[in-house]
């Protein structure tokens, strides 16, 4: 344990910003607006937030998978495998930004060079060191190829196994590891012949077959039936224990996050609002960010609904990521705002203040006195 404490984080994201240009509104949508995250070896970081909070885009940006132009990405993403490597290195050279009062007003981007540089940076990392699985597994698998072949491809690309027959054996092995039924038969199935749960298992197998250092799971259970969701969560839990994987789990489902995460980061409006050990963050009755508290209490639970007779919800609307108001992003919906902190909340965005050894909260209520 202490050995791991001294190791640098496997992935460190520093001040990541990803802005998209909306032609209709002629303005930048600030999907990711300055995110700092760390993933330590062997741990599972759960990133939770509403739709539009930028959680998926954060990891996609880190992996260079943001291809819809024009995504402008700045910041530093350090992947520390044997040696640290900046995954966003050199991209800035292809972009010229013009800022005014901290806002990006003008972007001139050479997209082709940018993409080339991104591909160069991530060569070998994508798939081999960091694997990613997505929502909607049946669409995410190649519909024209059998599932087995796709897993075998991952094996051949990223492990020492190059022969067709050996790769096939390995693919079968992984299909068994993800506890898919009748692996031999499933190997020769096309994705359309698999159910949602089975194809997600297949995608997990494909991601793990490359024996990566880290797995990023982007909403892996969203879109699946509730019972299947539980099974996939079980599977991930099991794999976590058996393989000692480092994982980043992105979900808007608190239940999934709570089950699998060691540490949690809560995102809202493109920024991280709170980070800390899972148990602490998820404890409704302990200290924490107002947004997180609201999220937790708005999760429908039978006893609460029966008691109060209505479904609790967070007041207000989701943040407009084009016109970000000054001050705290959550101020319009915050239930815990009081007169002491109000002047700060209105005018200046809080930093991530420390609360304890491993806890950070972006709220003026927790500012050091």
Binding positions for another protein, rule: CB under 8 A: 21, 23-28, 63, 65, 67-70, 103-112, 123-128, 131-132, 134, 136, 139-146, 153-154, 157-158, 188, 190, 192, 203, 206, 210, 320, 322-323
Give the total residue count for the chain: 369
CA-derived radius of gyration, the chain: 21
Q: Which is nearer to another protein, 2 or 323 (CB)?
A: 323
In the bound complex, what is the minimum distance in angstroms from residue 165's beta carbon to another protein? Answer: 14
Question: Quick one: 140 or 352, whose CB is closer to another protein?
Answer: 140
Angle at 194 between CA 254 and CA 68, to 5 degrees: 60
Instruction: Provide the minimum distance between the beta carbon of 5 and another protein in the complex, in angstroms, as a whole number.
Output: 30
CA distances from 284 to 216, 295, 358, 359 (A): 27, 10, 18, 15
Alpha helix segments (H runs only) across 283-365: 290-298, 302-308, 342-347
Q: How far is the CB of 113 from another protein (least distance, A)?
A: 8
The span from the first CA to the last CA of the chain, in angstroms, equals 33
Instruction: Give the span between the Cα atoms of 18 and 24, in whole angstroms.
Output: 18
Cα 58 to Cα 311: distance, rounded to the nearest angstrom: 31
Tell the smallest beta-carbon distance from residue 330 to another protein (Å). Answer: 19
Q: How far apart are CA 58 and CA 17, in angstroms?
A: 8
Nearer to another protein, 232 or 272 (CB): 232
> Which lies closer to another protein via its Cβ, residue 140 or residue 296?
140
Given the complex with another protein, which of 59 and 239 has the nearer CB atom? 59
Q: Which is nearer to another protein, 80 or 109 (CB)?
A: 109
* Residue closer to another protein, measured from CB, 2 or 112: 112
For the bound state, the minimum distance from the C-beta of residue 26 to another protein, rounded and expressed in Å, comes to 4
Instruction: Give min distance, CB of 253 to another protein, in A.
Output: 20
Residue 201 DSSP SS3: helix
Minimum Å distance from CB 106 to another protein? 5
State the pairing for strand pair 84-86/27-39: unpaired
Dmax over Cα atoms in the chain, in whole Å? 70
């Amino acid at each position: 344990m202490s050995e791991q404490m001294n190791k640098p984080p496997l992935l460190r994201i520093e001040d990541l910003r990803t802005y998209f240009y909306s032609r209709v509104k002629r303005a930048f949508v600030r999907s990711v607006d300055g995110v700092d995250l760390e993933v330590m070896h062997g741990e599972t970081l759960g990133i939770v937030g509403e739709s539009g909070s930028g959680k998926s885009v954060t990891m996609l940006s880190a992996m260079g998978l943001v291809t819809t132009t024009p995504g402008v990405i700045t910041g530093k993403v350090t992947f520390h495998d044997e040696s640290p490597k900046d995954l966003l290195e050199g991209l800035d050279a292809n972009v010229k930004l013009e800022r005014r009062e901290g806002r990006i007003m003008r972007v001139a981007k050479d997209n082709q060079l940018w993409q080339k540089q991104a591909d160069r940076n991530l060569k070998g990392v994508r798939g081999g060191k960091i694997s990613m699985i997505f929502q909607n597994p049946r669409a995410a698998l190649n519909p024209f190829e059998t599932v087995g072949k796709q897993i075998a491809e991952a094996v051949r690309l990223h492990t020492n196994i190059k022969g067709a027959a050996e790769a096939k054996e390995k693919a079968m092995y992984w299909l068994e590891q993800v506890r898919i039924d009748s692996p031999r038969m499933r190997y020769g199935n096309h994705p359309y012949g698999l159910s949602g749960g089975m194809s997600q298992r297949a995608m997990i197998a494909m991601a793990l077959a490359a024996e990566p250092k880290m797995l990023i799971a982007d909403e892996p259970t969203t879109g699946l039936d509730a019972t299947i969701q539980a099974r996939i969560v079980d599977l991930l839990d099991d794999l976590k224990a058996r393989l000692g994987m480092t994982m980043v789990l992105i979900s808007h489902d608190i239940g999934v996050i709570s089950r699998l995460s060691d540490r949690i980061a809560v995102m809202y409006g493109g920024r991280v609002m709170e980070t800390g050990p899972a148990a602490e963050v998820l404890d409704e009755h302990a200290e924490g960010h107002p947004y997180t508290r609201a999220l937790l209490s708005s999760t429908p639970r039978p006893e609460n609904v029966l008691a109060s007779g209505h479904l609790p919800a967070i007041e207000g609307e989701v943040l407009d990521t084009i016109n970000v108001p000054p001050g705290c992003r959550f101020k319009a919906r915050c239930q815990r705002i009081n007169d002491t902190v109000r002047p700060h909340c209105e005018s200046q965005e809080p930093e991530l203040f420390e609360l304890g050894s491993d806890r950070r909260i972006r709220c003026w209520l927790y500012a050091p006195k």
